[in-house]
């Protein structure tokens, strides 16, 4: 990373300013921050434990707030005080299936409906209640503090990554959380676009006028996205010939990720403990014990990618009873068999959206921590028919580094070499409106619908609809995916 930063110095010319900018790669389980400041090009922020990634977790303990690793450590002591994986319920209505799923995954929390907004909030002890946006705002404020300590100066401007499939309600929720944290959001950048940008800026010399198609397969903790990107140089009026990336196709599975594998391993360990009959109680009814098993399940998943079996063990799991059980990789793969069958889905959807064939894709590159699961790689390799999968970018930090490059480009404090980005609309956008018409003295209401942007339409671009007469019957025209 030091060498990469040194190479980047050539592309970054600092203007006379002392304002640093930052990026936040906001994952459902981990967040990574990066900064750019005068004299220091792109660099990942180290947290208080000198780690390059921080758990996206907040703990509300009496009059104390804990974040990151400290908050995560409290999950096995008092899970009711720990809040995580908030990304899945941001901007969601109370009756959304994602809310019910979250309640099932974290039964220790009380989720209630906001009578005004119809969204959700967490009912904490006493009269306290917090919305997911407020909790996320606390985390973003904490991440800002880490970045400021690392940069040794105040930071306000930021680019934040969000999943490409986030709808407008979810994006507004992130913006609201950022506002609570005192951040000025220069852009919400799709995380797959940030990864693609990071890949391109460090391979600028390899990009020419011949189109090169790359697929990025990103499996994180909560979701999976496959993205087809075309790299080539284009001629511009402003700056001549410049490299460009264009998002051509996106496929995703919002429920396919490493966390679901963790939960299945956790439940399997709970089943094994109950079968040992060391306690008359059902371990599944003990939130603290289940949190301990989840922590061990996450370790188990990692180890089983390198070993065919492993001895899971938890000291003092419940009622001072120790737990130990052997789990094999075969058992793990059987527990998650239906999940592994879904691995090729995003690839197929991305190809369909791009109207491409696998033969047109030069390389499939792995992104996201859950792509380290051996079975995921095996299934994906068979699905794409390549000799090998690309592992030539940092699977954990690519999005944060791409986002901070974008932040530097958007900031007035820095000047970066141009790298054109043409993103694409994952969802089609249309306008709908009713208009009153009159024929032969009879008034009728005519329903109108027009698609402004098809799915995968490149942006930024602008379209204009002209109404030849004014009526006061024009209601909210945006029609976006249901929230």
What angle in degrees, to the nearest 10, is found between the helix axes of 345-354 and 374-384? 40
CATH 3.90.640.10 boundaries in the chain: 258-338
What's the pLDDT at 386? 93
As beta bridge partners, residue 243 has 233
Q: How many CB atoms lie within 10 A of CB 455?
A: 14
Q: Strand, helix or coil at 166?
A: coil
The DSSP code for 363 is E
Q: How do residues 292-327 score in pLDDT, each as one tens digit?
A: 999 999 999 999 999 999 999 999 999 999 999 999
Residue of 44, 42, 46 lying closest to 9 (CA atoms): 42
What's the pLDDT at 126? 67
Q: How many CB atoms lie within 10 A of CB 313?
A: 13
What's the pLDDT at 433? 77
As beta bridge partners, residue 365 has 216, 390
Nearest 5°: CA angle at 150, between 147 and 151? 85
Q: How far apart are CA 24 and CA 358, in angstroms?
A: 32
Q: What is the largest CA-CA distance in the chain?
A: 86
What's the pLDDT at 5? 42
Look up residue 100 and give its two tokens: 């019910």
Mean pLDDT computed over every residue of the chain: 91
As beta bridge partners, residue 35 has 22, 43
* H/E run at residue 73: helix 68-73
Q: Give me Rg for the CA atoms of the chain.
A: 24
Please give the CATH topology (third level) of the domain spanning 258-338: Actin; Chain A, domain 4 (3.90.640)
Q: How far apart are CA 291 and CA 268, in angstroms?
A: 13
Phi, psi of 179, deg, nearest 5: -65, -40
CATH 3.30.420.40 boundaries in the chain: 2-191+398-415, 206-256+343-384
Is the overall model pTM greater than 0.75, yes or no?
Answer: yes
In order of 217, 226, 280, 338, the CA distances from 380 in angstroms are 9, 11, 43, 14
CB contact set of 378 (below 8 Å; sequence gap of 6+): none
Please check whether residue 120 is in contact with residue 113, taking contact to mean a CB–CB distance below 8 angstroms. yes
What's the pLDDT at 449? 84
What does the DSSP assignment read for 211-262?
-EEEEEEEE-SS-EEEEEEEEEEEEETTTEEEEEEEEEEEEEETT-SHHHHH
What is the mean pLDDT for each group of 10 consecutive residues in the chain (483 residues)?
Answer: 40 55 96 92 94 96 91 94 96 95 94 92 82 97 97 96 95 97 97 98 95 98 97 91 97 97 98 94 96 97 95 95 97 98 98 97 97 97 96 95 96 90 91 77 81 86 73 52 45
The fourth-level CATH superfamily of domain 2-191+398-415 is ATPase, nucleotide binding domain (3.30.420.40)
Which pairing describes strands 184-190 and 155-162: parallel, antiparallel, or unpaired? parallel
Please give the CATH topology (third level) of the domain spanning 206-256+343-384: Nucleotidyltransferase; domain 5 (3.30.420)
What's the pLDDT at 461? 82
What's the pLDDT at 479? 45
Phi, psi of 336, deg, nearest 5: -110, 25
Which pairing describes strands 321-328 and 120-123: parallel, antiparallel, or unpaired? unpaired
Q: Strand, helix or coil at 151?
A: helix
Please check whether residue 55 is in contact with residue 174, taking contact to mean a CB–CB distance below 8 angstroms. no
Phi, psi of 302, deg, nearest 5: -65, -45
Look up residue 221 and give its two tokens: 């903790």
What's the pLDDT at 467? 67
Whether omega before 456 lies within 30 degrees of 0, making that bond cis, reads no
């Amino acid at each position: 990373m030091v060498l990469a930063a040194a190479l980047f110095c050539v592309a970054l010319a600092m203007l006379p300013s002392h304002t640093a900018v930052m990026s936040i790669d906001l994952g459902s389980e981990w967040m990574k921050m990066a900064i750019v400041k005068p004299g220091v090009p792109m660099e990942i922020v180290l947290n208080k434990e000198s780690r390059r990634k921080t758990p996206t977790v907040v703990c509300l303990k009496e009059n104390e707030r804990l974040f990151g690793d400290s908050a995560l450590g409290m999950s096995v002591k008092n899970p009711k005080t720990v809040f995580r994986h908030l990304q899945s319920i941001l901007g969601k209505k109370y009756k959304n299936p994602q809310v019910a799923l979250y309640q099932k995954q974290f039964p220790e929390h009380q989720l209630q409906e906001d009578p005004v907004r119809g969204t959700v909030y967490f009912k904490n002890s006493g009269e306290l209640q917090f919305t997911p946006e407020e909790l996320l705002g606390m985390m973003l404020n904490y991440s800002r503090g880490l970045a400021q300590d690392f940069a040794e100066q105040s930071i306000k401007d930021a680019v934040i990554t969000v999943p490409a499939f986030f709808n407008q309600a979810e994006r507004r929720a992130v913006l609201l959380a950022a506002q609570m944290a005192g951040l000025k959001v220069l852009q919400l950048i799709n995380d797959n676009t940030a990864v693609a940008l990071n890949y391109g800026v460090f391979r600028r010399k390899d990009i020419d006028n011949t189109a090169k198609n790359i697929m990025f397969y990103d499996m994180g903790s909560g979701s999976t996205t496959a993205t087809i990107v075309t790299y080539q140089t284009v001629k511009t009026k402003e700056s001549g010939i410049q490299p460009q990336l264009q998002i051509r196709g996106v496929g995703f599975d919002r429920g396919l990720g490493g966390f679901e594998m963790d939960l299945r391993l956790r439940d399997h360990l709970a089943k094994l403990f109950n079968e040992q009959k060391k306690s008359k109680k059902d371990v599944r009814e003990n939130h603290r014990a289940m949190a301990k098993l989840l922590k061990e399940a996450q370790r188990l998943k990692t180890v089983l990618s390198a070993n065919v079996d492993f001895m899971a063990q938890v000291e003092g799991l419940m009622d001072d009873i120790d737990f130990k059980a052997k789990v094999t990789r075969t058992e793990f793969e059987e527990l998650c068999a239906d999940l592994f069958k879904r691995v090729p889905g995003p690839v197929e959807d991305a190809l369909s959206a791009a109207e491409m064939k696998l033969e047109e894709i030069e390389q499939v590159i792995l992104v996201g921590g859950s792509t380290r699961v051996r079975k995921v790689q095996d299934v994906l390799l068979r699905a794409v028919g390549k000799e090998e999968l690309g592992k030539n970018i940092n699977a954990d930090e690519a999005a944060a580094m791409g986002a901070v490059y974008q932040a530097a480009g958007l900031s007035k404090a820095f000047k970066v070499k141009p790298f054109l980005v043409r993103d694409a609309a994952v969802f089609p956008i249309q306008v709908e409106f009713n208009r009153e018409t009159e024929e032969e003295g009879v008034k009728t209401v005519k329903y109108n619908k027009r698609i402004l942007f098809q799915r995968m339409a490149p942006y930024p671009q602008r379209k204009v609809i002209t109404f030849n007469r004014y009526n006061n019957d024009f209601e909210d025209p945006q029609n976006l995916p249901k929230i």
